[in-house]
Amino acid sequence: VLKTDATLLANRHIQLNGEVGFQKINAAYGKDLKIRDLRGKIKFDKKLLLDKTQVKTLPADFAAGRKGFFNQLREFSRRKNAVTLGSLQAGRHRVSNIGLDIYFKDNRLFVEKFLAEVLGASLGGNLFVTQTAQGPELHFSTEFAGLDFNRLVNRPPPSGRRDSTLAGNVQVGFQISQGGRGRRIALDQLIAKITLTHLGKDVLDRLLLYLDPEESKPALVDTRAKLKLASPHRVLMTLENGNLNLEVWLYNKLTGGIFKAPELKRIPVTSMKPFREFADQLQVLSKMQDALQAISAQGIEFDSEGKMRFF
């Protein structure tokens, strides 16, 4: 259900105010993206400029969720669980029991807090779609605990009782305007930082083998060998400009100290099979690009053929 008021100021802007309501909605975008049991409402106010010369740099408004202490304020927020989803299916991965503290203001979409369950883990984090000088960007941050590594990589668990869970945090930035209708989303559009604070020795060994199934990266082969006398302490993976950096810290069982294993630096992810598979799954986002462009647009214009374009 859409309720909106529109005000037009000739040759300057259109002001939209209202709310979008959902009641037990099920939807699908192609065969890879499915939404089940969408409920709630989103209030919005949006100004669309009619003159591109009026575009200004957006102010950096205060947002409690981005300052790190929103958890203390959440119980008093009118936006708590403003929208809920029974499940979101993206490719072979399913996220369920999703709650979103969501609102839309000044041409920016804010999810100050979200809670969900995926692959046996509990997730919590935030998401923002904002305008930058380079165009609209999506920023995503989450912390997780109890993530099942076997289900993540779609591999059967090994024999015996071994700890296959992961805990840590993920930060992702995605520049929406680099894609576009009909264009494939490339991994170099993503900036990602993944920190693993809990993982077992067997999971780290399997993770390194998953990243290097041909065992062609000396740094990863050497780190796997060191696991005979050490256990994982922390793992940091960064992805930027299509290159992967991997840092691993291990705990030496003999000396009791923590040391850093050989670092993997600036490896093109196109040379690694798991990332090529991930790039295929990433195309699910292409179905959202037009919507995200519209959400973060500062204005509209019409070309010589009368077709509307966002800017």
**Tens of pLDDT, residue by residue, the chain (311 residues):** 788 888 888 778 888 888 899 999 999 877 778 999 999 999 888 888 988 888 765 554 434 445 444 555 566 567 788 999 999 998 788 999 999 999 888 778 889 899 999 988 999 999 988 777 666 788 999 999 999 988 887 777 766 656 788 999 999 988 766 545 556 677 777 889 999 999 999 999 989 998 888 899 999 999 999 999 999 999 999 999 889 999 999 999 888 899 999 999 998 887 777 777 777 766 666 666 677 777 778 888 888 888 888 87
pLDDT of residue 22: 92
Residue 211's nearest CA partner among 167, 152, 164, 158 is 152
Integer Cα distance of 16 and 44 in angstroms? 8
Torsion of CA 182, 188, 192, 196, to 10 degrees: 110
pLDDT of residue 177: 61
pLDDT of residue 63: 43
DSSP string, 55-110: --PPP----HHHHT-HHHHGGG-TTTTSEEEEEEEETTEEEEEEEEEEEEETTEEE
Integer Cα distance of 198 and 204 in angstroms? 10
pLDDT of residue 161: 57
- Chain centroid offset of residue 225 CA: 33
Question: pTM for this one?
Answer: 0.80
